[in-house]
Amino acid sequence: MQGASDSSKGVVVSRTHYRKLLENEYLGQWDLMDESGNCREVVVAIEKVEPYVPERKQRRKMPDGSYKDVPNKKLKITFVGKRKPWLSGPATHQVLRSLYGPYKEDWIGKRVTLYVDSTVMYGNEKTGGLRLRPEKPAVRVPTTTSALDNPVDNGKSEQLARARETAGIREPGED
């Protein structure tokens, strides 16, 4: 949560989600939080859909002690005019298929509504995550003009990468 309000005093306290401090390569739920900490919905148009290829393959240890490659089930979706792509999972793929058909070429140029779903699980932990609304966005809803459009500060990105490495923070798809 980025911000909170103290209703007893009627004061809004601005707070920053720690993930906003890290220059992440991919879109996350913290990117959809406004200054008061509320999660917002955004309408974006799909520019490109491609398979996500992690830098290192994920492997799972089997009961016999051997290791097996974990199949990659994610797609990297880039949005028109946005600097961060989104790593989407199978639940998203089902929504896109129901909205625009099974062919990725038919998804290009189509508008979708992203929102934060606090019930998303990562393993046994409820972490929250991004989801797509299962209906086509209304034509009258404007596309977002948010911080997702800001250019990346290369100096800050390098500093944050060093800090992540020192702290042992892993990127999506890393072991």
pTM listed for this prediction: 0.63
- Mean pLDDT along residues 87-101: 93
Split at pLDDT 50, 70, 90, the class of 5 is: very low
Number of domains in the chain: 1
pLDDT at 129: 85
pLDDT at 3: 43
3-state secondary structure labels for all residues of the chain: CCEEEECCCCEEEECCCHHHHCCCCCCCHHHHECCCCCECCEEEEEEEEEECCCCCCCEEECCCCCEEECCCCCEEEEECCCCCCEEECHHHHHHHHHHHCCCHHHCCCCEEEEEEECCCEECCEECCEEEECCCCCCCCCCCCCCHHHCCCCHHHHHHHHHHHHHHCCCCCCCC
Check pLDDT > 50 for residue 119. Answer: yes
- Mean pLDDT along residues 65-77: 90
Check pLDDT > 90 for residue 173. Answer: no
Check pLDDT > 80 for residue 16. Answer: no
Query: Rounded distance, CA 117 to CA 1, Å?
Result: 13
| 106 domain-assigned | yes
| 111 domain-assigned | yes
| 144 domain-assigned | yes
pLDDT at 94: 95
| 124 domain-assigned | yes
- Mean pLDDT along residues 77-98: 92
Determine the structural domain holding residue 98 and report its residue range. 25-53+67-149
| 10 domain-assigned | no
Check pLDDT > 80 for residue 15. Answer: no
pLDDT at 2: 40
Could you give the percent of the chain with pLDDT greater than 90? Answer: 30
Token pair listed for 78:
């880039």
Check pLDDT > 70 for residue 83. Answer: yes
Query: Rounded distance, CA 82 to CA 74, Å?
Result: 19
| 61 domain-assigned | no
